[in-house]
Amino acid sequence: MRRIRSVKPSVRFPVSPALLRRLAYASIIANVAIVVTGGAVRLTASGLGCPTWPRCTDESYTTTPEMGVHGVIEFGNRLLTFAVGVIALAVVLAVLAQRPRRRGLLPLAVGVLFGIPAQAVIGGFTVLTNLNPWVVGLHFLASMVVIAAAYALWRRTGEADVPATPTVPAPLRTLAALTTLVSAAVLVIGTWVTGSGPHAGDQGAARNGLDPESISQVHADGVFLLIGLSVALVFAFRAVGAERATRAAVVLVAVELGQGLIGFVQYFTHLPAVLVAAHMLGSCLVLLATLAVLWSTRERRPVAPAPQPTRAPEPATAAA
């Protein structure tokens, strides 16, 4: 008697690409949100609201009524780290559930997941060092690295695992890479400006000793250079007919101008907390817009949709 083998239906994507892409996008938003809430901790002088780490006090992991509103703000920011971590873990599980496995996604997803506790540990050192401005700056920059990884993951979820194809000539790709490098430098110098200014995160926290006016001028010079390079990208991309890259560069220039306006206003109005918070959000947007330009200089074909199962023909149709 002939044996009949049972054939299991193959499922190409147990987790749909659309769901994975939404999770990756949520990871970007969550990591930007934790930067803004971290700024709220500093701007409300709540940096030592929980005076130790990983506990909030020597006896408790949570805030106590005696610690007041500063303890609530600092502890709330710590709790948000767990929410960001949960989203990152969901992304990793979604990547692992895909069939076939996307080889280019797992390293990025794992990098974002492990980057969050690493960033939290640096945040712990900011508390243990009494908000040392250099450590505080490193804490912010670590968040920028995680956001960059989350953005790369989001973009890769919409692309196939094939080699990237350039969309602009090599000199323009070099110019885009240089613009990205200058954007990163502006972010680093911005942390030095913050470390020299009045918003220390606590009344007794030290400053980095740099002259606020001088380092602010260096930061402004970097911003002017960044805007100049970005405008050059707009015209260069347009000259070679790279429409997608041109749109990305125009968005970058618009974000930079908005961020620069906030920076100048906050400087001449003696750094009001609301504008400083908006400037921190703008820093995240500048980073994302810069990465969008860099991504627009190459392309991979989109991920093919999952094949739809074919239905068996109706008996009448089969007979016909």
Residue-wise pLDDT tens digits, 67-97: 677 777 777 777 888 899 999 999 999 999 8
Q: Which residues contact 71 (CB under 8 A, 6 or more apart)?
A: 46, 49, 50, 56, 63, 64
pTM of the model: 0.83
* Beta-carbon count within 10 A of 67 CB: 21
Token pair listed for 14:
């147990």
Cβ-proximal residues to 188 (8 Å cutoff; 6+ apart), any chain:
137, 141
CA dist 283 and 278 (Å) reads 9
Q: What is the pLDDT of residues 132-185, one digit of tens each?
A: 889 989 999 999 999 999 999 999 998 887 888 899 999 999 999 999 999 999
What pLDDT is stored for residue 308 in this prediction? 54
CA 234 to chain centre: 24
State both tokens at 30.
């969550």
Q: How far apart are CA 266 and CA 258, in angstroms?
A: 12
User: Which tokens is 143 given?
Assistant: 């968040």
Rounded Cα gap, residues 201 and 221, in angstroms: 27
Banded model confidence at residue 314, pLDDT cuts 50, 70, 90: low
